[in-house]
A and B are shown apart, each in its own frame.
Chain A
Amino acid sequence: MNLSILLILPLAFSLILLFVKGQKQVRSVALTAAVAQLGLSIVLLFKFLAERAKCNSAFLFESNYTWFKQLHINYHVGVDGISVSMILLTAFVVLAGILVSWNQEKLYKEFFFLLVFLSMGAYGFFISLDVFTMFFFLEVAVIPKFLLIGIWGSGKKEYSAMKLALMLMAGSALVFVGLTGLYYNAKGAVSFDLVQLSLHPFAPAVQKMFFPFAFIGFGIFTALFPFHTWVPDGHSSAPTAASMFLAGISMKLGGYGCLRVAAYLMPDAAHYYSTIIIVLASIAILYGAFATMMQTDLKYINAYSSVSHTAFVILGIAMMTKTSINGAVMQMISHGLMTALFFAVIGMIYERTHTRQVAQLGGLLKVMPFISSVFVIVGLCSLGLPGMSGFVAEMTVFMGSWERAGTFYHVATIIAAASIVVTAVYILRAVGSAIMGPMNNNDHLQLTDAAWNEKTAAVLLLVGILVMGLAPFWLNDLINPGTEVIMQKIGMIK
């Protein structure tokens, strides 16, 4: 299968969007694009599984073209299990995002154009095996986010949009320095090619110098403490679909980059710095959880809890055992689905009640049973109820972390696990006062329940959450060979 279709398809659709007139036409083209992407990624999944049974190379469906010959820059794409799962996640979230913004009226053409264009950036990032193209797509995704938040957002949108764009650009500037360092220090094989770089043993001093650049750079994308401040503002000001994309996919770009570029290419330095990273991740987990308790706005609640939840990804990577890295990847998928659904539901509530303050809501279960039930389910998933994706992913991270011997690592694991209690407090409190309880506002009695598009979006993501929660071995089988390759590289150091 030619992976470039994953790029050409969204690009072609986004260009078609420019020439289509009328809201109905535009949104149906966008929906077609999203459905086609989902179909394509499911086809990719099955082809990938079939192909992998036959041969066992690290990356499948590779194609490699020279791009800038003199600079040794190639267009090199290929996928392993981790990227396939990420691509699936992207397709799910984009489709759901387009469905919930079905009634977008303000500048609808530009809105859908940017969403589809953004999805191209994400696909391109996940299929890249050349760190230059990876970096290219990482940056491609920044400006559409800026525009989406700034034009269609709410609250202090300009401020949030600018903050997000600048912090993400700072992240990619650091990544850039890190990549340049790797490029010139790959003596004899100056290259940006991930596969070639991974074969090259970098001197520990070089790794120690450039690992922080790459890790912090990608870390900013995934809300590494203390560079997480763009997350609450950005997420809460963004329109629903953009929040879903930001939290669901964009933060995963960072986690994927930390794993695939920073830890994989510079294993020595990853070991060297792992204590610091674990401390930062533990702080983020606890700080995020406690900060969420203080929030009264539903979107801020989910945004801060995202800071706490994505820190599990960082923790899993930094613990560097096979299980913990598996857990980190699972947590990325799980959090992507869960938080996208959470934002979608919050968006639906906000659209009807025009408020996101928990105190002003109440008794919503009576008037909109569907939306409220989804809210409860996704809340339970977030606090790690068994049977849903959150439990599987977090449990795997904890198990993997505990495998790492040493008091320090055990203490960090206990701290991380303890945060679940705090999560339960804020989730149950939000559910209790916003969904259940008495009606605080009698105007809310006239509200309608979800429309077909919203139901479809919610069901789509719910299916993902439940499948992952009830049959985690499928996902585990998918990503396992991929993490094994990474582990081999990291394990050699010990």
Chain B
Amino acid sequence: MQQELLLTVIIFILLFLKLGADNIDSKKLMTLVNVLLAINLAAGFFFNQSGSLFGDMFYTDHLLRLEKSILNLGVLIISLQSVNWLSKHQHAVEFYLLMLSTLLGMYFMISSHNILMFYVGLELASIPLAAMANFDLDKKRSSEAAMKYIMSSAFASGLLLFGISIMYGVTGTLSYEGLREVASDSPLFLFSFILLIAGFGFKISAVPFHLWTADVYEGSPIAVTSYMSVISKGSMIFVMASVLFHVFDKIFFTWYNLLAVLAVLSMIIGNLFALRQQNLKRFLAFSSISQVGFILIGMTSANPQGATSVIYFVLIYIFSNLAAFGVLSLVSTEKGKETIDEFKGFYKTNPALTWILAIALFSLAGIPPTAGFFGKFFLILAGASKNNYVLITIAALNMVISMYYYLRIIKAMFMDANDNPIEKVEISLSPKIAFVTCVAGIVITGLVSGVYDYIFSLVR
């Protein structure tokens, strides 16, 4: 519970700051928030309690604590990267208030031990997100994105709630322990379970529940896009893994097939759409859909190896995707350029940023020695433990398709000629810290096996 309390304290500090002073120097404010987040991250490693609270509504243990720390790390990186964008913005405090509130929601979601608690956390995590999507106040696309997000999110919540209520009607219980006892493959229970999966699918934007993703990602400010595609998705994947593995483990054979179908669809459709994108934000949106497909493959394993691989991959995904978004955010804020064609000849003017983006893309594509290689390898390896080699072959070949579009960007940056490439972009201190963290994470997380071993030792 300490992590949640500490985060609440940070939120209140910001709230009082906002109430107390009319104009706050946003640079100073951001430094303060970053320091606080870093403290929260460090503190996460000292909170070692496990147990349940509030009549078994809330449960935490070492693994959940680690998952929250991973999310916290991601938020810290995003916050460091968006300094350039936020310092021009007049509502920096509100942005942080909203972002940290959603983070708090995700914490509760991860720690839930009761479906209702999960639902409450989910709502806290998604409603402020819609406000964040609207944060480019003078852009029409931004409000369009917010509108689309709130509509689809409300629809997904509706499905979830519908599923939850049927589930309650069938079983008479909502706590995870209780559900685990009575889970069966009776038709009504399965129906409610499928609604639940659909709700999950919306949040992680698995195909066929992905239609909102591209537009919302493209319209939102980049900081929010990266937050949605990494943190929000990551938290949902954590919850999904623990719920599927520990609550619905009795009906494994039902959700195995469900997940396998979702995974194949997500990989193929995400890849095919990503092939043709010009806007880098849209491109990353579709590529993140196909990444979710790979994660779902790891989830089909339903064993500790699979759970570890999923969490491990989310950590790597945070590093690699945020490095990519970070470069994009800098360039987009400073020069207003977001398409692949505009990135042609980028290497001539910005070698450092090019290498960072290249390493991030290599990691997303799963090329050694970056961590992405290990992440994907282990996910697919875990998926193969069920001896379904058709699924594994499809996944492996999808990695080849995804290579094409990641290399397309590499090609544009390194090889294509351009008469007036994007001018040199200055990197200020905070984004620099963020980039160093990401690149170090991409290199170390894979090659050093300690990270995987540590997660494995925590997985129940």
Contact = CB atoms under 8 A, between A and B. Distances in A.
Contacts of B381: 71, 180, 183
B367 A176 contact: no
Nearest to B377: A176
Contact of A70 (B380, B389, B415, B452): B452
A181 B400 contact: no
Instruction: Give the interface centre of A71, A139, A158 by most chain B CB atoms within 10 Å.
Output: A71
A68 B308 CA distance: 12
Nearest to B381: A180
A162 B369 contact: no
B378 A71 contact: yes
B407 A146 contact: yes
A141 to B, nearest CB: 10
Interface in B353-390: 362, 367-369, 373, 377-378, 380-381, 384-385, 387, 389
A70 to B, nearest CB: 5
A13 interface: no
A148 B175 CA distance: 58
Nearest to B402: A169
A150 B415 contact: yes
A157 interface: yes
B404 interface: yes
Interface string B160-179: 00000000000000000000
Contact of B411 (A142, A162, A169): A162
Interface residues of B, number: 33
Nearest to B396: A173
A140 B449 contact: no
Given A136-B373, A150-B415, A180 B380 contact: yes
Main secondary structure of the interface of A (DSSP, over half): helix
Interface string A394-432: 000000000000000000000000000000000000000
A165 interface: yes
Nearest to A132: B377
Nearest to A157: B415
B295 interface: no
B393 A142 contact: no
A173 B453 contact: no
B305 interface: yes
A177 B367 contact: no
Nearest to A142: B367
A15 B86 CA distance: 36
B414 interface: yes
Given A69-B449, A136-B369, A140-B369, A173 B399 contact: yes
A71 B400 CA distance: 24
A116 to B, nearest CB: 15
A150 B380 CA distance: 30
Interface string B444-460: 00000100110010000
A151 interface: yes
Contacts of B414: 147, 150-151
A177 B404 contact: no
Interface in A157-204: 157-158, 161-162, 165-166, 169-170, 173-174, 176-177, 180-181, 183-184
B403 interface: yes
B276 to A, nearest CB: 16
Nearest to B362: A143
A173 B368 contact: no
Given A71-B381, A162-B407, A177 B305 contact: no
Interface size class of A (residues with CB under 8 A): 20 to 34
Interface in B182-234: none
B37 interface: no
Contact of A166 (B369, B378, B396, B400): B400
A161 B414 CA distance: 12
Contact of B373 (A67, A139, A166): A139
B9 interface: no
B321 to A, nearest CB: 19
A286 B404 CA distance: 32
B274 interface: no
B258 interface: no
Contacts of B387: 184
A146 B410 CA distance: 10
A136 B456 contact: no
Contacts of B369: 136, 140
B397 interface: yes
A68 B449 contact: yes
Contact of B389 (A66, A67, A140, A181): A181
B392 interface: yes
A493 B415 CA distance: 51
A169 B403 contact: yes
Nearest to A11: B369
A139 B403 CA distance: 12
Interface in B394-431: 396-397, 399-400, 403-404, 407, 410-411, 414-416
Contact of B453 (A70, A137, A139): A70
B380 A169 contact: no
Interface in A199-221: 209, 213
Given A143-B367, A166-B407, A173-B396, 6 more contacts: A68-B453, A69-B453, A136-B369, A142-B367, A143-B362, A166-B400
Interface of A: 66-71, 136-137, 139-140, 142-143, 146-147, 150-151, 157-158, 161-162, 165-166, 169-170, 173-174, 176-177, 180-181, 183-184, 209, 213
7 residue pairs, one from A and one from B, having the closest CB atoms? A173-B396, A150-B415, A180-B384, A170-B400, A68-B449, A70-B456, A169-B400
Interface of B: 305, 308, 362, 367-369, 373, 377-378, 380-381, 384-385, 387, 389, 392-393, 396-397, 399-400, 403-404, 407, 410-411, 414-416, 449, 452-453, 456
15 contacts: A66-B449, A68-B452, A70-B308, A71-B378, A136-B369, A139-B373, A140-B369, A143-B362, A146-B410, A150-B415, A158-B411, A162-B411, A166-B400, A180-B392, A183-B381
